[in-house]
Structure 1
Amino acid sequence: MAVVIGRNEVGIKRTTRPTTIANNDVAKLMYYLNCVCETINCDQDEDIRRFTNYANWARLSAEQRKLLLVLCYTFSPDVFDGKVFFNIEELCVEFSNEFYEISQLRHRLVAVESIIIAGRAHQVTKIMTYTMSWMRAYYLEPMQRLARQFAAESSRPSLSAPHRQRQSTRPVPAPSVDSSCCCTIL
């Protein structure tokens, strides 16, 4: 059942919180999935929630990273756009993505009470507005790069365990702040 919010609702309650995201495609996709779970109720699904802890992105195994890619494909923006994700730059007041309580929306938004993804109904709890630069940085480009990486890895012979371990001990880059997003990029 769709809910159409009437004109000039009494104020809009932003619920956006600044956060820190590593400058890594896996972390960015985990953050994207976390944003999805901010807008719909994913609390009962432990299989999804374990991929939303973007601070622990480095702990995901190669197999889990592939599962993350599949999950993000399943929860792609086109499933949410116009329902709980809205590309409205005017509502991105401080950051390139913002969250709002669903009960306090502007007149031109339509929200749904629930959304079905992969055969499961999820209750809508908030909406998220975004800019296209946010969508490119936290979904489109990381998805493309990881898909290319996994395709290249599957076409190469497997590496020995000691060599893989050496690659995973890279230093963490210094943090930088992306002032257009509600997150800090490490």
Structure 2
Amino acid sequence: MAALLRSTDQSLKEFGRNVTISEHPLARLMYYFDCICAVMDVDKMEYEGIDSLRKYHEFETLEEDDIDNLVKLCYELSPKALENAIFQDDGMCEDSNNNFFELKTVRNNFLVSESVLIGGIEMDVKKVMTYKICWLMKNWVRPMDYFAARLIRISSGQTSLPGYGNGGFEKHVVQEESSVPGKKPSKKKGKLFGSMK
């Protein structure tokens, strides 16, 4: 079953909070996964370590097998696969780079599914997320590009190789107007993205 999202609908209930995220691609991908966990009922995937994959502030502590699982999950939970649950819409993001909305308040412009089929598993859509292209680039496109060699290794069934460790993480952290489930993002201006190196 599907609903539609109209960006001018005043009854939409939005929520989220500002977060600080490291610029490291692993932290960024964990943040993407955390946002998707707010949108989708990922518990149906029956992966015991989901909570640890969401703790983007603790990205340096993630084990190699967990990084592999994160990369696989984020590949399966790609923006394309979730195109009926997450939407690129700058206007609905307002001052943030992404925003969340209650599914039950969503009507009219975007086709929103109540469930999505991922890897043969039907997963319920719990909330709707809108994002700006810059959010998607920083939190999924660039991190997945960074982990491309790892994804190839995983898909070929190889075991861990030297050079895939999680050492040498940069400590560069920036404050940005992205949101995660919680309170509504603030309307403050002047927070900038750091550059991905």
Fold equivalence (TM over 0.5): yes
Which is helix-richer, 1 or 2?
A: 1
Aligning the two structures, in what range does the TM-score lie when normalised by the shorter sequence?
A: 0.7 to 0.9
RMSD: 3.0
Residue among 57, 60, 69 paired with 2:59 = 57
Residue among 68, 71, 81 paired with 1:66 = 68
Structure 1 counterpart of 2:179 = 182
Which is strand-richer, 1 or 2?
A: 2
Matches within 5 A, 1:119-158: 119-148=120-149, 158=162
How many aligned residue pairs are there? Answer: 174
Instruction: Name the aligned partner's letter for residue 173 of structure 1.
Output: K
Calculate percent identity across the aligned residue pairs: 25
Instruction: Name the aligned partner's letter for residue 93 of structure 2.
Output: C
- How far did 1:10 drift? 4.4
2:142 and 2:123 map into 1 onto residues whose CA distance is 26
1:75 and 1:33 map into 2 onto residues whose CA distance is 8
Contact 2:22 2:172 in 1 (8 A): no
- How far did 1:75 drift? 0.9
- How far did 1:67 drift? 2.1
**Unpaired runs of at least 5, structure 1:** none
Change in CA separation of 1:132 and 1:119 when aligned onto 2, cut-off 3 Å:
same
Matches within 5 A, 1:6-155: 9-43=9-43, 45=46, 46-81=48-83, 83-148=84-149
Partner of 2:74, secondary structure, is helix
Partner of 2:35, secondary structure, is helix
Instruction: Name the aligned partner's letter for residue 173 of structure 2.
Output: P
- How far did 1:6 drift? 7.5
Partner of 1:95, secondary structure, is coil
Instruction: Name the aligned partner's letter for residue 124 of structure 2.
Output: Q
Change in CA separation of 1:171 and 1:123 when aligned onto 2, cut-off 3 Å:
closer
Structure-1-length-normalised TM-score: 0.78
Structure-2-length-normalised TM-score: 0.74
Instruction: Name the aligned partner's letter for residue 48 of structure 1.
Output: I
Partner of 1:178, secondary structure, is strand
**Unpaired runs of at least 5, structure 2:** 181-190
